[in-house]
Amino acid sequence: MKYITQLFRIFTGALFIFSGFVKLVDPLGSAYKFEEYFGADVLNLEFLIPYALPFAILLILVELLLGISLLLGFKTKTTLWSLFGITTLFLFLTWYSAFYDKVTDCGCFGDAVTLSPWETFYKNVIFIFLIAFMLFQQKHIQPIVSKTANKWVLFLSLFASLYVVYDALTYLPLIDFRPYAVGKNIREGMEYKDDGELPPVHDFYLESDNGDDLTEIILNAPKVMLIVANELEHSEKGAWQAIVTHAKQAKEKGYLVYGVSSSSSSLMNETIANNNLPFEILFCDATTIKTMCRANPGILTLNKSQVISKYNWKKINKNGL
């Protein structure tokens, strides 16, 4: 039993660390998933939507630190019962999503690994079994370093995690697992495979104010700059002045420059007029924009549908064209 317990300990701890890390580098992605769960058509807890980001960060940190604690053998009983509680909650949510077909991807592994609702549910069933087994065999889980060393490892892990979260929220995720990451080809991401599944990019559509579809023009152009701002009313102050200069420089170098937003047509025109923007703002689906770029606003440059660069507006001066 001792060796089986150690095997379960390593496997469970490593999976929780991996799950926490892939969400840690992109906390907004987890926040969007919380918003989906809190929505009226899922759990009907819309009053919690404004707190989705704090909930997401807290859960990520707890998941990551519990995984580390399990591997270290630190406060084994508390760690295992905490893991059991969190996994039980996940078990209910994933069963609810799968049974009622509410959320197609729980985001358990962020955008790094996509699982169907039932696959996620069965994964949690396995974890419940592993954790319950370790609870009965916890005498075999001993600390691998001293108590003081354990505390320092957890403290430094927490500090490093908070810094990663801060950097991701201030600029962009440290690692981009999405189909609009630098180096990805949007057109290739739109291709359907033989398995019949939806392609990674299945809702990329750019429409002008007068209803023209500019998607193909933009995907075929060798030099394109897209200024992405999902909700113009929530775009960061001071951004547009810097973007105007950046957009003019891009146009001088032969770039097609467009804004991209899901806001109303009236708000788009108001933003253009108030900031003297030298480009048109195109309409795009809100979910697509959130997937494209986590900044508001952020900048993508394309070369014949391939993503060449992506950066937060705050790093304009560090990203020359």
Number of alpha helices (DSSP H) and beta strands (DSSP E) in the chain: 11, 5
How far apart CA 311 and CA 297 sit, in angstroms, is 9
The token pair that represents 168 in the structure block: 């991701």
Per-residue pLDDT averaged across 46-73, rounded? 94
Closest CA to 16 of 71, 58, 78: 71
Are the C-beta atoms of residues 67 and 44 closer than 8 Å to each other?
no
26 shares its domain with 100: yes
pLDDT of residue 36: 86
In the chain, what percentage of residues exceed pLDDT 90?
Answer: 69
Q: Which residues contact 319 (CB under 8 A, 6 or more apart)?
A: 299, 309, 311
44: left (phi over 0), alpha (psi -120 to 50) or beta: left
What phi, psi does 172 have (nearest 5°)?
-145, 165
152 shares its domain with 195: no
In the chain, what percentage of residues exceed pLDDT 70?
Answer: 98
How far apart CA 310 and CA 295 sit, in angstroms, is 10
Q: Which residue has the tokens 């398995």?
A: 195
Are the C-beta atoms of residues 201 and 273 closer than 8 Å to each other?
no
Is the pLDDT score of 118 beyond 80? yes
Name the amino acid, one letter, at 156: L
pLDDT of residue 101: 75
Alpha carbon of 212 to those of 94, 167, 255, 308: distances in Å? 40, 37, 20, 25
Asked if residue 181 is part of any domain, the answer here is no
Of the residues 139, 170, 201, the one at which a domain ends: 170
CATH number of the domain at 299, please.
Answer: 3.40.30.10
Closest CA to 233 of 286, 304, 181: 286
How far apart CA 319 and CA 311 sit, in angstroms, is 8
Per-residue pLDDT averaged across 150-178, rounded? 94
pLDDT band at 320 (very low <50, low <70, confident <90, very high): low
pLDDT of residue 182: 96
31 shares its domain with 157: yes
What is the tens place of the pLDDT at every residue in 250-282?
999 999 999 999 999 999 999 999 999 999 999
16 shares its domain with 147: yes
How far apart CA 24 and CA 112 sit, in angstroms, is 12
Which pTM value belongs to this model? Answer: 0.89
Structural domain of residue 9, as residue ranges? 2-170
Asked if residue 268 is part of any domain, the answer here is yes
Of the residues 117, 137, 170, the one at which a domain ends: 170
How far apart CA 158 and CA 168 sit, in angstroms, is 15
8 shares its domain with 115: yes
Number of domain units in the chain: 2
Of the residues 140, 170, 200, the one at which a domain ends: 170
